[in-house]
Structure 1
Amino acid sequence: MIVEVYPSKVKGTIEPPASKSYLHRAIISASIAKGTSIIHNVIYSDDVNATLDIFASLGVAVERYVDRLVITSKGIDSFTISTPINCNESGSTLRFVIPILSNQQEVYFKGKSSLMSRPMHIYEEIFSYQGLTYKKQNDSIVTRGKIKPGKFKIPGNISSQFISGLLFVLPLLNGDSEIEILGTLESSSYINMTIDVLESFGIFIKHKKNRFLVNGNQSYKPTEIFAENDFSQMAFFSVLGIINNDITIKGMNFNSFQPDKVIIDAIINIGGIVEKHSDIAIFKRSKTSDFTFDLSQSPDLAPILSVLASKSHGFSRLINGERLKIKESNRLLTTYNSLKQMGVRIIMGDDYLEIVGPNKFRGGEFDSYNDHRIAMMLAIAATVAESKTTITNAEAINKSYPNFYTDLESLGVKIKYIEE
């Protein structure tokens, strides 16, 4: 799909969708628990559907409604694995389910080529150390053997999804376990989110400094849970309000463990005008100054923060962005290429971006690189560009936010859709 986004003045109120990070964790926990769980506030993005489809294929009863999910399971021991586990393009899904579903039989995990090219060496090392089978091929991963309780030493500078994957399964094992983090743990708030969701399902993890202590022989309890709205998606509208015109965003939990809620303080710290009331935040058009932002804890903010830096006055730096290279695209490079094409004064280093602002955005034809956050970044920048912006492979947004363009339209953005 191709979309044309025209320069438009925005105004209005928006409610971002549910956090797909939160939904993954709730769906997995509900599928492991024996009984019926209800998850309120859902969005059926491609990634969320990948997780749902996997557990449905294992025998879990999944009832999908507009505003909620009803999941009924007989527990993890009832899972029947008879087909390849298709994770589509969801890195979270793949990294979460490998330790959960690996069994005495051979289990095939597959997905799109872009997914299988992502680093998975942590599990390979764990499986090898425990004498289990782990074979990574171009289009699949094959495992044989169940993870055993024990002590796991994991570098802190890798994706937190590996740690969450272990935290899902270790409480079920017949023995206690410990995860020791070597160095500084990046994206630590995502671990806190995992622990928070697990507690809702009756699973308890002890976190002491750089260690996670997990008692074995625990069991998941079915529950009713509400999925928080997504700060990662809110960030796009937050910046839109600052660079374009006032926007009200509702339905946010400002006490959330989501790491990307830092976008609010990041905006305030550079002169952005933000008003917070209960679960509402109002972002007002503002003149903002340069900044330095450490991406190690919130890498998903890189594209939209680059747009903010492009419109801020001075020399801004986004640093510690090594993990951007292993997202849906090499997001360090695709952010650089997109903004460079828009006329932004931008420099790319090994793990950083440097931007001198403010800049005017040129319109033109741009590719999303099949990356949902690049597509959304381009659409936000397009609203204040000098001419229309054409985005190819615009359907990439379906990975996390299928209603993104219609939500933009509700704020007054003119968008034209062209089917290829």
Structure 2
Amino acid sequence: MNMLIESINLKGSVKAITSKSYAHRVLICAALSDKSTTFKIDEFSEDILATISCLEELGAKIEIDGSKIVVYPIVKKETIPILNCKESGSTLRFLLPVATTIYERVIFKGEGRLPERPLSDLVEEIENHGVKFSSRTIPFETEGKLNYKESFNISGNISSQYISGLLLAAGILEDEVEINITTKLESKSYIDLTVEVMEKYGIEIVESGNKIVKRKSYKTIYREATIENDWSNAAFFLCASALGDLISVEELNLKSLQPDREIVSILRRFGAKIEVKKNIVNVYRRTLKGITIELSEHPDLLPVLAVVASISKGETKFINGKRLRFKESDRIKSTVEMINNLGGMAMEEADGLTVIGIEKLKGGIVNSRGDHRIVMAAAVASIVCENEVKIVGSEAVNKSYPKFFEDFKILGGDICRQ
């Protein structure tokens, strides 16, 4: 599906949607616990539905009534589970250790670019602990259960999800489990998020240097859980506000451990005025100036921040984003392509990019490359374009924010599906 967007300022207020990162973790912890948990998810993205489907395949019972969801613990089945993770890297990396802890044999499948995304370090470490793989990349079948007698040694600079997956699986056992991180750790906030959710389910986590120790097993403490709202997707409308008229983004947790909450301080560094009232964030446009942005802790912000950079005075450098090469698209390449196709000036680097700000973008055609964040960034870019923006493959938003264009239209966006 293609989307045609006219150049019109957005204005108004929008409620942040449920955090995908938080929801994955709560769903898994609830399924591994000893009693049912009830909570709300107001936006069932494709990634969240993938995790729900896989948990059901593992033996969890999950009831959905509108936004209300009840998760009952996994009851092991006699058949071999077939887990289709769709395009969700989180689902695959979290559930690979979990499933191989519970089952002797599991079949894993995926779609899109998921088979190309990094997994080898996690596969190798799981192999070191007694599990055989029919292939190094999905689709594959595993044989043997994960052995926890020895500590785990895993890299921290490829994907923090490797570590989160091992932690989530370790919570199944009562015994102490030790995980040693063998490299510099990137995106630590996502591990902190995992720890925060696990602790709400009775798990004790002790961190010391590059070592993480898990103690105790899952116990349902709160029969009703709260899932906080999403900073990653809120960032698109916060940036839109920095580029045009005021958009108030509501129901955000300013004390969240989500790394993309840093969007507030990054926009402030660009020169935008930020106003916070309880759980509402207002961003006011001011003269924007180029800055240097470190991507290792919040790589998902790159596409929309590149749009902000495209009309900021001077040069903006994005650095230490090598992992972005392995997202739903090569996100460094697809971000550069988006900015240049819209009449901006962006140059690709090995681990990032440089954007030279101009007064206004021209508009044009953007190919999403199947990447939800490119779609939403291109839509935000329409605000600062002289002409319309056509987005090819706009359905990619369903991966994380299915009602993005609904909210975009409510805020005054002029869109036409083609």
Name the SS of the counterpart of 2:417 in structure 1.
Answer: strand
Match of 2:98 in 1: 100
Aligned to 1:82: 80
Deviates more, 1:393-402 or 1:3-12: 3-12
1-side partners of 2:112 and 2:238: how far apart?
33
Distance in 2 between residues matched to 1:55 and 1:129, nearest whole Å: 25
Partner of 1:225, secondary structure, is coil
Aligned positions of 1:391-406 closer than 5 A: 391-406=391-406
Alignment partner of 1:289 is 2:293: no
Residue 113 of structure 2 aligns to a residue whose secondary structure is: helix
Paired amino acid for 1:98: L
Residue 144 of structure 1 corresponds to which residue in structure 2?
A: 143
- Structure 2 residue identity aligned to 1:108: I
Q: Distance in 1 between matches of 2:316 and 2:348?
A: 12
In the TM superposition, what are the counterparts of 1:2-401 in structure 2 within 5 Å? 2-73=2-73, 75=74, 78-102=76-100, 103=102, 105-136=104-135, 139-149=138-148, 150-173=150-173, 175-215=175-215, 218-221=217-220, 223-401=223-401
Structure 1 window deviating more from structure 2 (254-263 vs 106-115): it is 106-115
Q: In structure 2, what is the Cα distance between the partners aligned to 1:277 and 1:79?
A: 49
Contact 2:342 2:365 in 1 (8 A): no
| Aligned-pair CA distance for 1:172 | 2.4
Give the distance between the partners of 1:174 and 1:201, measured in 2 at CA.
13
- The offset of 1:174, in angstroms, is 5.5
- State the shift of 1:219 in Å: 2.8
Cα distance per residue 1:23-51 (max 9 Å; x no partner): 00011111111221012243210000001
Of 198-207 and 100-109, deviating more is 100-109
Q: Secondary structure at the match of 2:35?
A: strand
Distance 2:201 2:52 in 1: 18
Q: In 1, distance between residues paired with 2:105 and 2:53? A: 20
Q: 1:59 to 1:177 in 2, by over 3 A?
A: closer
Taking the aligned partners of 2:228 and 2:171, their CA distance within structure 1 comes to 24
Mapped partners of 1:268, 1:66: distance in 2: 37
CA apart distance, 1:197: 0.5
Shift of 1:64: 1.1
Question: Structure 1 residue 362: deviation in Å?
Answer: 2.0
CA distance in 1, matches of 2:218, 2:347: 51
Q: Please tell me whether the aligned partners of residues 42 and 227 of structure 1 are also in contact (alpha carbons under 8 angstroms).
A: no
Letter in 1 for 2:61: A
Alignment partner of 1:407 is 2:380: no
Give every structure 1 segment of 4 or more consecutive aligned residues whose post-TM-superposition deviation is greater than 3 Å. 79-83
Deviates more, 1:254-263 or 1:80-89: 80-89
TM-score normalised per structure 2: 0.96
Cα distance in 2 between the residues matched to 1:386 and 1:67:
39
Q: TM-score, normalised by structure 1?
A: 0.95
Aligned length: 415
Structure 1, unpaired ranges of 5+:
none
Structure 1 position 137, deviation (Å): 5.5
User: Residues 257 and 81 from structure 1, CA distance in 2 versus in 1: closer, same or farther, beyond 3 angstroms?
Assistant: farther
Contact 1:148 1:173 in 2 (8 A): no
Cα RMSD after superposing both structures: 1.6
Question: Which whole-Å CA distance do the structure 1 matches of 2:331 and 2:189 have between them?
Answer: 21
Q: Give the distance between the partners of 1:127 and 1:380, measured in 2 at CA.
A: 41
Q: CA deviation at 1:93?
A: 0.1
SS in 1 for 2:66: coil
Q: Deviations over 1:386-420 (max 9, x none)?
A: 111111111000000000001011111111112xx
Instruction: Confirm or deny: 8 A CA contact 2:50 2:86 kept in the other structure.
Output: yes
Cα pair distance change 1:251/1:174, threshold 3 Å: closer
2:207 counterpart SS class: strand
CA distance in 2, matches of 1:293, 1:391: 26
Identity %: 35
SS at match of 1:276: strand
CA distance in 1: counterparts of 2:95 and 2:134, whole angstroms = 16
Kept in 1: contact 2:15–2:250 (CA 8 A) = yes
Aligned-pair distance for 1:175?
3.2
In structure 2, the CA distance between the partners of 1:207 and 1:42, relative to structure 1 (3 Å rule), is farther
Secondary structure in 2 matching 1:130: coil
Change (3 A) 1:173 1:257: same
| Deviation readout 1:332-356 (Å, 9 max, x if unpaired) | 1000111111111111111011111
